[in-house]
Amino acid sequence: MNKLLREPLIHFLLLGGLLFALYSFLNKDEINPEDYTIHITKGDVDRLVKAYQKNWNSLPDSITLAAIIDDEVKTEILYREALRMNLDHNDEIIRRRLKQKYEFLVKDLVSLGQISEEDLQVFYRKHPKLYQYPRTISFSQIYFSPDKRNTPQQDAMALYTQLQQGGQAVSLEQKGDDFHLPTQFIKKDKDQIRQEFGKQFADALFQLSKQGWGTPIESGYGYHLIRIDTILPSQPIAFEQIKEKVTQDWQQQQQVRYNERLLENLKSQYSVRIEEIRD
């Protein structure tokens, strides 16, 4: 018996029991029978069954359903007791989650209405950068591998100098080293090049502004001697081709404006006091 009383777990259980007893005693005048009544409605059961079916792709049998309902009751009991002990107070995770739920609720309730074709085209013209094909470059490359050469950058630069001085034609297949990517790329935008060669290479490539051979560009693979074949500037996308996206963007903008007005209205009902911060 003495050994049992020395167990830390026993101390924890006794302390927890005393804590709940003290809390109940101090709040006995505030007890509302409804606060200790849990209603499991048919709608609740349907929700639990649907959740189980979604996770397991089958309906629960009677024993499983009873266990699910029992777990729901346990969850509700512990949730209510946690609220009574004010455990949700100053919990940043709970604050963020409630903020998200409120924003989702507002999004579901707000009516965005309809916009005319003419106003939609006005919105399209006001935001040209959102509705255009990106700038693209067609280029050829000669690859210089750091695994096969002692001085790949110098070798690439030497060939570039030779091409600049002599201007002779170069067979891409006969120069440079084997590479797993093609020697020619047709009408590629910056994001496509970034995925193939990395951000450093894409940034350097799209700084080039004229056709012909340019100084070697480094990538994570090594060095590349680049010949720009064509540069196509960004072009607007016809309204008819992108009308659905324009509509979605307009709706999103309306949602943002509605949220801003709602927040300003809510803020006007609050008094905000910020204590002076002293160094």
Residue 7: what pLDDT?
56
Judge residue 189's burial from the number of C-beta atoms within 10 Å of its C-beta, 0-12 exposed, 13-18 middle, 19 or more buried.
Answer: middle
Judge residue 16's burial from the number of C-beta atoms within 10 Å of its C-beta, 0-12 exposed, 13-18 middle, 19 or more buried.
Answer: exposed
* pLDDT at position 1 over 60: no
The per-residue pLDDT for range 77-125, each reduced to its tens digit, is: 888 888 888 888 888 888 888 888 887 777 765 556 678 899 999 999 9
Please state the rounded mean pLDDT for residues 65-74. 90
Spatial neighbors of 206 by CB under 8 A, at least 6 apart, are 135, 137, 190, 193
Residue 101: what pLDDT?
83
Residue 21: what pLDDT?
57
Please state the rounded mean pLDDT for residues 155-175. 76
Sign of the alpha-carbon dihedral angle for 163, 168, 170, 176 = negative
Q: Which of 57-61, 77-81, 246-250 has the lowest mean pLDDT?
A: 77-81
Please state the rounded mean pLDDT for residues 130-148. 94
Spatial neighbors of 163 by CB under 8 A, at least 6 apart, are 170, 213
The per-residue pLDDT for range 198-220, each reduced to its tens digit, is: 999 999 999 998 899 999 999 99
The per-residue pLDDT for range 225-234, each reduced to its tens digit, is: 999 999 999 9
Residue 239: what pLDDT?
94
Would residue 135 be called left, alpha or beta, if left means φ above 0 and alpha means ψ between -120 and 50 degrees?
beta
Mean pLDDT of the chain: 83
Q: What percent of the residues of the chain are helix, what percent strand, and what percent coil, each to the nearest 5?
A: 55, 15, 30
Residue 227's CB is within 10 A of a number of other CB atoms, namely 19
Q: Which residues pair with 213 in a beta bridge?
A: 227
Does 273 or 9 have the greater pLDDT score? 273
* pLDDT at position 28 over 60: no
